[in-house]
């Protein structure tokens, strides 16, 4: 998964899992958000182009800490130990590509303009930023569809799949029709998380592009 898709998927899940919603018609997602403070899970990911052809696979782990922090680490299949790391520390978004020995940083507001991550960072509520509705049952999962109200968003649609009371799958469709699917396992909700995991420390010998803002 490339850097843009990493930011999109991580930012979307961070925003929606950490948001609060006022639901005229409550969905499984609304119930899942209630009382959420931290969230973490392992995942496998697949990326398909507009024809349904698989163009990428990988695995990783996502950690969310409210407010405004997440850690997304993924390794594309066939990349060996070369991981990609995306960290939002509440003020900045950091991206580390270990294969290139290069890191980039941008203020969070600039890095994810008009994206779901700003829902959390700006304190907006779920129903003001997104259209949310139940989307039936398929593949043994209960689905919730989420669409951004802002036409400038980087994605056109996301679908959250629940197995019982637990989030099992996330499908993101970008504005060009590319589909990214995350299959979750080892989900931990409101478990204790080391704060160091959502801070970024530049590794020795890695070049930094950009300048972080001070919170």
What pLDDT does 113 receive?
A: 47
- Model confidence pLDDT, tens digit, residues 160-169: 899 998 999 9
Q: How confident is the model at residue 119 (pLDDT cuts 50, 70, 90)?
A: very low
In a domain, 17, yes or no: yes
Q: What burial class does residue 130 get, using C-beta atoms within 10 Å of its C-beta: 0-12 exposed, 13-18 middle, 19+ buried?
A: buried
Q: Nearest Cα to 125, choosing from 4, 11, 16, 19?
A: 19
Dihedral in degrees, nearest 10, Cα atoms 129, 169, 57, 149: -10
In a domain, 184, yes or no: yes
Q: How confident is the model at residue 142 (pLDDT cuts 50, 70, 90)?
A: very high
Q: What's the mean pLDDT when you consider all of the chain?
A: 81
Q: How confident is the model at residue 137 (pLDDT cuts 50, 70, 90)?
A: very high
What pLDDT does 34 receive?
A: 76
Q: How confident is the model at residue 16 (pLDDT cuts 50, 70, 90)?
A: low
What pLDDT does 111 receive?
A: 61
In a domain, 215, yes or no: no
pTM comes to 0.83
Cβ–Cβ contacts within 10 Å for residue 68, how many? Answer: 22
C-alpha 75/C-alpha 59 separation (Å) is 6
Higher pLDDT, 125 or 129: 129
Q: Do strands 155-163 and 166-174 pair parallel, antiparallel, or not at all (unpaired)?
A: antiparallel
What pLDDT does 123 receive?
A: 40
Q: How confident is the model at residue 69 (pLDDT cuts 50, 70, 90)?
A: confident
- Model confidence pLDDT, tens digit, residues 168-198: 998 988 888 999 898 999 999 999 999 999 9
Percent of the chain scoring above 70 in pLDDT: 78
Q: What is the largest CA-CA distance in the chain?
A: 52
- Model confidence pLDDT, tens digit, residues 81-118: 657 888 889 889 899 988 888 999 988 777 654 444 44
In a domain, 11, yes or no: yes
Q: What is the CATH number of the domain that holds 45?
A: 2.50.20.10
- Counting the structural domains of the chain, the total is 1
In a domain, 214, yes or no: no
Higher pLDDT, 212 or 69: 212
Higher pLDDT, 136 or 34: 136
What pLDDT does 162 receive?
A: 95
The DSSP symbol for 202 reads P
What pLDDT does 8 receive?
A: 67
In a domain, 70, yes or no: yes
Higher pLDDT, 124 or 79: 79
Domain that holds residue 44: 3-209
């Amino acid at each position: 998964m490339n850097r843009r898709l990493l930011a999109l998927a991580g930012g979307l899940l961070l925003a929606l899992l950490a948001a609060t919603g006022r639901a005229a018609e409550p969905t499984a997602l609304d119930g899942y958000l209630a009382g959420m403070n931290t969230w973490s899970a392992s995942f496998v990911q697949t990326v398909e182009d507009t024809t349904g052809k698989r163009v990428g696979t990988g695995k990783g782990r996502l950690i969310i800490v409210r407010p405004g922090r997440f850690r997304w680490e993924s390794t594309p299949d066939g990349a060996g130990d070369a991981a990609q790391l995306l960290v939002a520390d509440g003020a900045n978004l950091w991206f580390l590509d270990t294969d290139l020995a290069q890191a980039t940083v941008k203020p969070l507001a600039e890095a994810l303009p008009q994206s779901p991550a700003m829902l959390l960072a700006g304190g907006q509520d779920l129903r003001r930023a997104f259209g949310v509705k139940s989307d039936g049952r398929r593949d043994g999962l209960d689905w919730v569809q989420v669409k951004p109200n802002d036409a400038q968003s980087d994605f056109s649609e996301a679908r959250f799949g629940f197995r019982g009371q637990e989030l099992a799958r996330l499908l993101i469709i970008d504005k060009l029709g590319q589909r990214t699917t995350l299959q979750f396992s080892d989900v931990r909700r409101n478990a204790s998380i080391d704060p160091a995991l959502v801070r970024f420390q530049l590794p020795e010998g890695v070049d930094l592009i950009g300048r972080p803002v001070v919170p």
